[in-house]
Amino acid sequence: MPTNEHIVEQALERITTGYVFPEKAAVVEAEIRARLAAGAYEGLDGPVLCETVTAHFQEVCPDKHLRLLWTDEPQSPAPADDDGGHAAFLALLRAENQGIHRVERLEGNVGLIDLRLIATAIEGASAIGAAMQLVAHSSALVLDLRACRGGSPEGAALWCSHFFGDDQVHLNDIYDRVPNTTRQFWTSAHLPGPRYADRPVYVLTSEATFSGGEDVAYTLQAHGRAVVVGATTRGGAHPTSRHAVAEHVLVTVPTARSINTVTGTNWEGVGVVPDIRVPADQALEEALKAAARPPAP
């Protein structure tokens, strides 16, 4: 096991070269190096080291994606094996049914999709299409993101695409620090499932909804395509890479930032604020009440 000093040094190298805000990365580096020199991390075991360093990251730069994580599963820190955590994420998606926990038809012909992860657009296409096919003939749809802990920006755009009538909607952009480019995300022309463009959509959120789940909620809300019901979300808007800095330690580095085409900003640090605020455990009940109301004249 490398020393704590080596682990922290490796994490700082990843942050300074990859963090989406270089000026904030410099502040983080200076602060953590000062604590390192003062012996703040000496003698800490792996999990405690990760918790302590993460807390210090957050004090200096409250970006919820900027973390040092302990993992029981051994990781390869070899540069040749570093893919930013992509392979591990794909394996997780396969183990969790591409993030789709359940699809159900509720009373009143309301469809329900309980989504726990946002799959990649390629890996998840078939499952996403199947879920949308199962709710295709419902009168309204509830997209439950209360336990959604994140995922792929491309997958978020694919999910959102199903709720618009065509491929002419510019959803958002993502600015990547390296290679200093901006990617545009539009609704897709070809979808794996039927469009759901002409009926009400309710998105359920909680304090646990994070990252890619927030992307879907924020995008649909900003474009006026869904009513968000529940609690304000965690507030993590920066696409992130994971890098092993020791066999059991990962550093997560936000390398990009989302820019919504309607608001010109994102949900970082503030979360997605619901249209109908209720405790998360009451969100489904409230959404079903809203779905049962006659449309306004």
The CA–CA distances, whole Å, from 259 to 35, 47, 150, 163, 183 equal: 34, 34, 17, 20, 10
Q: Taking residues 109-118, report their average pLDDT.
A: 98
Check residue 289 and report its DSSP letter. H
Within 10 Å of residue 260's Cβ, how many Cβ atoms? 20
Domains of the chain plus CATH, in order, are 4-79 (no CATH), 96-236+271-292 (3.90.226.10)
Check residue 290 and report its DSSP letter. H
pLDDT above 80 (res 80): no
Reading the block at residue 130, the tokens are: 């199947």
Diameter of the chain by CA atoms? 67
Q: Taking residues 254-276, report their average pLDDT.
A: 96
Cα distance between residue 141 and residue 279, in whole Å: 20
Comparing 249 with 294, which gets the higher pLDDT?
Answer: 249
Q: What is the chain's mean pLDDT, rounded?
A: 94
Q: Taking residues 104-114, report their average pLDDT.
A: 97
pLDDT above 70 (res 296): no
pLDDT band at 297 (very low <50, low <70, confident <90, very high): low
pLDDT above 80 (res 81): no
**Contact call for residues 257 and 265 (beta carbons, < 8 A):** no
**pLDDT digits 0-9 by tens, 219-257:** 999 999 999 999 999 999 999 988 999 999 999 999 999
pLDDT band at 280 (very low <50, low <70, confident <90, very high): very high
Q: Give the pLDDT of residue 74.
A: 86
Q: Taking residues 206-219, report their average pLDDT.
A: 97
Reading the block at residue 265, the tokens are: 């900003």
pLDDT band at 126 (very low <50, low <70, confident <90, very high): very high
Q: Taking residues 7-34, report their average pLDDT.
A: 95
pLDDT above 90 (res 78): no
**pLDDT digits 0-9 by tens, 175-195:** 999 889 999 999 999 999 999
